[in-house]
Amino acid sequence: MTTLTVAAPPQTRKPRKPRPWLAMIAVIVIGLFAFGPVYWLIVTALTPSGDAFQFPPRLWPRTVTFEHFANLADNPVLGRYLVNSLIVSSLTAVLTVLVSAYTAYSFSKFRYRGRRSLMSLILASQMFPQALLLITLYLLFSAFGLLNSYLALVLSFTTFTLPLCVWMLKGFFDTIPDELLEAAKVDGAGQGSVIHRILLPVSLPGLVATGLFAFIRGWNDFIFALTLAGPEKQTLPPGLVNTYLGEFQAAWPDLMAASLVVSLPVVGGFVILQRYLVAGLVSGAVKG
């Protein structure tokens, strides 16, 4: 893995005197720890059941099979979890982008009393323990008949994804010159059309990145879907736990295949938008 032929991007500054051998040893050792489990996940998913359950385990498969992926497709329950995950994560992404765009615009371009406190409040809100909030959230959603509904999941996911998304977008809006927005106002555009005709179209890449991030957060959530949704509305993470870990002997190769399938959209989306997400994460955490 240290002999990749991809050239490093041109440096804008000279790196300090390199110690490549030390760096390479570190990368190899940490690489084994980082990619060993990934390798094992993939190998197990491709190993016939008979070979997977033997000790000591075989480090590379004798024969490769796709039967475990076929097993997944045959299981209608998993299909339902998948659909639920897609619906809930997509709705979360849309709602999060809308709400965080308005909020981030407010924080970025307006000055009013209480703005700083609001920013701190929203930043701090992601840090309240969810298990504690769930005690009352469960009763609240129950009182409104919203237990076991998409709405309960979308509202919960959105609230806890908002803080980071607001900060990602605020960083984006900060780079948009005020003059651009002022010019539109001088031309007679109302406050609303400044947002919808100018700000949002100009920030499309940032909105897409934010939406994708929210989608991933919704896709990965475990505790809200576990608690607030029953089998009909549950998403993949709690769904897989209930399907595979409840049994006496778990079907490990099937579970590993399912794990790969669940990870796929997240990894794909992340590869596409890595640049935005990394920058957003850094600024979101530091520029609170």
Partner 1 sequence: MPDNARQPKHLSDRTFGFLLTLPAVVLFAAIVLYPLIGSLTTSLFQQSLVIPGRSFVGLDNFRHVLDDQFWPVLQNTLVFTVFSTACPFILGFALALALNTRLPGRAVLRGAFLFPWVIPGVVVSFAWLWIFNANYGLLNGVLVQLGLIDAPVSWLGDPTTAMLAVIVAKTWASFPWIMVMLLAGLQTVPATLHEAAAMDGAGTLRRFWHITLPHLRGIIGIVVLLEVIWNFQHFDMIYVLTGGGPAGATTTFAVAVYETAFKGFDLGRAGALGALWLLLLLVLVVGYVRLAEREEKR
C-beta of 88 vs 255, nearer to partner 1? 255
Can you tell me the distance from the alpha carbon of 122 to that of 169, in angstroms, rounded to the nearest whole number? 14
Tokens of 249: 């002997």
Distance of closest approach, residue 255 Cβ to partner 1, in angstroms: 6
Can you tell me the distance from the alpha carbon of 260 to that of 267, in angstroms, rounded to the nearest whole number? 10
C-beta of 73 vs 139, nearer to partner 1? 139
C-beta of 80 vs 244, nearer to partner 1? 244
C-beta of 31 vs 79, nearer to partner 1? 31
C-beta of 23 vs 64, nearer to partner 1? 23
Distance of closest approach, residue 4 Cβ to partner 1, in angstroms: 3
Can you tell me the distance from the alpha carbon of 230 to that of 202, in angstroms, rounded to the nearest whole number? 41
Helix extents (H) in the chain: 20-46, 49-52, 67-74, 76-109, 115-125, 130-143, 150-174, 178-186, 191-193, 200-202, 204-220, 223-228, 236-240, 252-286
Distance of closest approach, residue 194 Cβ to partner 1, in angstroms: 10
Distance of closest approach, residue 9 Cβ to partner 1, in angstroms: 6
The answer to whether 133 touches 167, Cβ cutoff 8 Å, is no
Distance of closest approach, residue 112 Cβ to partner 1, in angstroms: 4
